Amino acid sequence: MPDELTAAQRRAVAELVRVWPVADELARRFTAAGHQLYLVGGPVRDALLGRLGNDLDFCTDAHPDQTLKALEGWAEATWETGREFGTIGAARRGLRCEITTFRADAYDGVTRNPTVQYGTSLTEDLRRRDFTVNAMAISLPDHQFTDPYGGLGDLAQRLLRTPGTPEESFGDDPLRMLRAARFVSQLGFSVDPPVRSALRDLAGDLRRITAERIRDELTKLLCGDDPVAGLRLLVDTGLADQCLPELAGLRLEIDEHAQHKDVYEHTLTVVRNAVSYEEDGPDFILRMAALMHDVGKPATKAVGPDGRVSFHHHEIVGARMTRARMKALRFPKDVTAAVSKLVALHLRFYGYGRGEWTDSAVRRYVTDAGDLLPRLHKLTRSDCTTRNRRKAAGLAADYDALEERIARLQAEEDLAKVRPDLDGNAIMELLGIPPGPAVGKAWQHLKELRLEHGPLARDEAEAELLAWARREGLTPPAGPAGE
C-alpha cells in the first residue's frame, strides 16, 4: 500500500497545482477575516485519483453572511441557492467554488433533510460525510493534509467505508446507499463488508428519498465506467427492489431443462456490450434501453408442451413497463419515449436472416426507428450474447447485410425523410376538399404506398390517390385530373 499512497500523493500534487492560485487567494481573504478554510471532500478525493475537475468544495467556520463578505470584490459571480444548508457559491477564473459552514446536522430519521446545525470543528464536519474517501481535507493556504478517518488508505485500496458506523451514515441519509453503488460504477471501488450488510438491512429506507434524487443517482451509476458492477450491488443488497424492481425481477427461476438463458446475466452482458459500442462517451439512452430491453420477459414467460420456454411479445410488455418505471422516476418525457421505443423495437431485426424482408420492410424498419436508428443498430448488436460462435457470426453477418441494405436504400431514397409523394396542399387541390381529417387519412395512405413501393412518379401518385378517394366515397372534382 505505501507505493499506492505515494503515487496518489504525487497525482494530487500535480492536480492541485492548477487550482492553488485561486484557492489560496480565497483562503487569504478568509484568514484576514479571522476564519479557517479547507478544500474538502470530492475534490480532494479526485485530486488523489488524478481526475480533479473545475468544481471545488470548501468548508469553513465562517457563517454564510461572513462568507459573502469575504467574497466581495473577489468572486466574479456568487449564488445563494444552498444558503439554507450553509452553502454559498462563487465563480473565479473558470472554477466553481462552493463554500459551506462546518456542519453538525441532526436528522429526523423520516426524511433525508437535516435540521441544519453549524459545527465548530473540521473533524466534526468530516465525520458527518458519507464515506472516508470523501472525509479528507487540505487546509488553506498552508496546504496541511487532514485525514482523521483513514480515507487515504481506503482510497489506495479502492474501498468504501463510512467515517462512523454505516447504520449511522445511511440512517441519516439513505441516498448514500445509492451513492455507494454509484461510486462502485464510476470509480471502481469495492464495498467494505459492514457497509454491504448495512445496505441490505437498510435498503427499505430508500422509500424516504424522492424519485428525482433516486433518478439522478441511477443516471450517474448507469453512465459510470463499470455500470454492471454498480447494478450488481443494487440487486445483491436489495436496493434494486426499492428503486428498480424490474432489474431484480429478471433473475428468473431456471426451468429444469435449462431451456432458456439466465435473463439477468444476459441483460448485464447486453449493458456491457452497449458500452463497448459507444463512440463519444456515455450514452444514457442506449444504456438504459440495454438495461430494460428484456424486463417484459418475467410477465410473458410460458412453457410449451415440449418444455420449451417462450416470451411472446415481451418487447411490447417491456416497453410499457419501461415507460411506467421511467415516469415513476420522473425522467423527462423525451428520454422516456426514446428508451421505450428502443425496447419496443429491439426484436424487430430477428428473422431478417431468413430472407423474408422486402425493401418495404427495410423502409419501415428505418422509418419506425427514426433518429434512434444508430442506437437501435447498437442495441441489436449488443443483444447477441450467444456463446455459439457460428450462431453469433451468422447474426453479425445478417446485421451487416441489413445495414448495407439500409445504406443503399438511404442513398437512393433518403429514408430519413420519407414523406408521401404528394403533400397536403396537393391532396386538397386534387380532391377538392378543405383541411380536415380526410386530408390526414389521404396523406397516411400515400405514405404507406411510399414505404411499400418506394418513390412514385407524380402521375402514379395522383392515380393512386384518386383510386383511394373513390374507395373512401370521396368524389374528386370533374376535369382532366379527375378523369
Q: Where are the alpha helices (DSSP H) in 293-384?
A: 297-300, 314-328, 333-345, 359-369, 373-382
Distance, CA of 90 to CA of 56 (rounded, Å): 10
Q: Answer yes or no: do 317 and 387 share one domain.
A: yes
pLDDT at residue 481 above 60? no
pTM here is 0.80
Q: Answer yes or no: do 462 and 341 share one domain.
A: no
Distance, CA of 255 to CA of 49 (rounded, Å): 46
Distance, CA of 92 to CA of 17 (rounded, Å): 16
pLDDT at residue 378 above 70? yes
Biggest distance spanned by C-alpha atoms of the chain: 95
- Mean pLDDT value across residues 42-55: 93
Residue 373 lies in a domain: yes
Q: Answer yes or no: do 170 and 152 share one domain.
A: no
Residue 140 lies in a domain: yes
User: Beta strand 55-60 with 95-101: parallel, antiparallel or unpaired?
Assistant: parallel
Residues 428-468: tens digit of each pLDDT? 888 888 888 888 888 888 877 777 777 777 888 888 888 88
Residue 201 lies in a domain: yes
Residue 248 lies in a domain: no
Percent of all residues in the chain with a pLDDT value above 90, rounded to a whole number: 58
Using pLDDT thresholds of 50, 70 and 90, give the confidence band for residue 76: very high
Q: Answer yes or no: do 207 and 220 share one domain.
A: yes
Residues 274-287: tens digit of each pLDDT? 999 999 899 999 99
We report the CATH number of the domain holding residue 195 as 1.10.110.30
State the pLDDT at residue 308.
80
Residue 142 lies in a domain: yes
State the pLDDT at residue 258.
45
Q: Answer yes or no: do 109 and 199 share one domain.
A: no
Higher pLDDT, 119 or 65: 65
Per the prediction, the chain carries an average pLDDT of: 87
Q: Answer yes or no: do 229 and 124 share one domain.
A: no
Single out the residue in 93, 122, 157 at which a domain terminates.
157
Q: Which residues neighbour 295 within 8 Å (Cβ) at sequence distance 6 or greater?
A: 246, 247, 249, 250, 318, 321, 322, 325, 343
Residue 291 lies in a domain: yes
Distance, CA of 408 to CA of 424 (rounded, Å): 29
Q: Answer yes or no: do 187 and 223 share one domain.
A: yes
Distance, CA of 63 to CA of 419 (rounded, Å): 63
pLDDT at residue 85 above 80? yes
Single out the residue in 157, 180, 204 at which a domain terminates.
157
Which of 83-92, 306-315, 335-344 is least confident?
Answer: 306-315
- How far from each other are the two terminal CA atoms of the chain, in whole angstroms? 90
Higher pLDDT, 113 or 407: 407
State the pLDDT at residue 112.
54
State the pLDDT at residue 420.
64
- Whether the CB-CB separation of 226 and 190 falls below 8 Å is answered with no
Using pLDDT thresholds of 50, 70 and 90, give the confidence band for residue 115: low
Q: Answer yes or no: do 184 and 228 share one domain.
A: yes
Which of 59-68, 229-238, 307-316 is least confident?
Answer: 307-316
Using pLDDT thresholds of 50, 70 and 90, give the confidence band for residue 113: low
Query: How many independent structural domains does the chain possess?
Result: 4
Q: Which residue has the cell 451509476?
A: 221
Q: Answer yes or no: do 298 and 389 share one domain.
A: yes
Higher pLDDT, 8 or 482: 8
Single out the residue in 116, 140, 157 at which a domain terminates.
157
Residue 275 lies in a domain: yes
- Mean pLDDT value across residues 195-223: 96
The CB-side HSE value for 70 (13 A sphere, CA atoms) comes to 25
Residue 67 lies in a domain: yes
State the pLDDT at residue 175.
96
User: Beta strand 87-92 with 302-303: parallel, antiparallel or unpaired?
Assistant: unpaired
Which of 3-7, 23-27, 153-157, 263-267 is least confident?
Answer: 3-7
Residues 117-152: tens digit of each pLDDT? 788 899 999 998 999 999 999 999 999 999 999 999
Distance, CA of 154 to CA of 187 (rounded, Å): 13
In what side-by-side order are the strands of the sheet with 77-79? Answer: 77-79, 87-92, 95-101, 55-60, 37-40, 137-140, 145-146
Range of the domain at 290: 271-415
Q: Answer yes or no: do 142 and 19 share one domain.
A: yes
pLDDT at residue 350 above 80? no
Percent of all residues in the chain with a pLDDT value above 70, rounded to a whole number: 89
Distance, CA of 398 to CA of 378 (rounded, Å): 14
- Mean pLDDT value across residues 168-176: 93
Task: Output phi, psi for 104, to 5 deg.
Answer: -140, 60
Using pLDDT thresholds of 50, 70 and 90, give the confidence band for residue 480: very low
Q: Which residue has the cell 474517501?
A: 133
State the pLDDT at residue 426.
83
Which of 34-48, 107-121, 319-333, 393-407 is least confident?
Answer: 107-121
Q: Answer yes or no: do 432 and 391 share one domain.
A: no
For 255-266, letters b (16+ CB in 10 Å) and e give: eeeeebeebbeb
Q: What is the 3-state secondary structure (H, E, C) of 178-220?
A: HHHHHHHHHHCCEECHHHHHHHHHHHHHHHHCCHHHHHHHHHH
Using pLDDT thresholds of 50, 70 and 90, give the confidence band for residue 259: very low
pLDDT at residue 411 above 90? no
State the pLDDT at residue 257.
38
Which of 62-71, 151-160, 340-349, 354-363 is least confident?
Answer: 354-363
State the pLDDT at residue 210.
95
Q: Answer yes or no: do 188 and 328 share one domain.
A: no
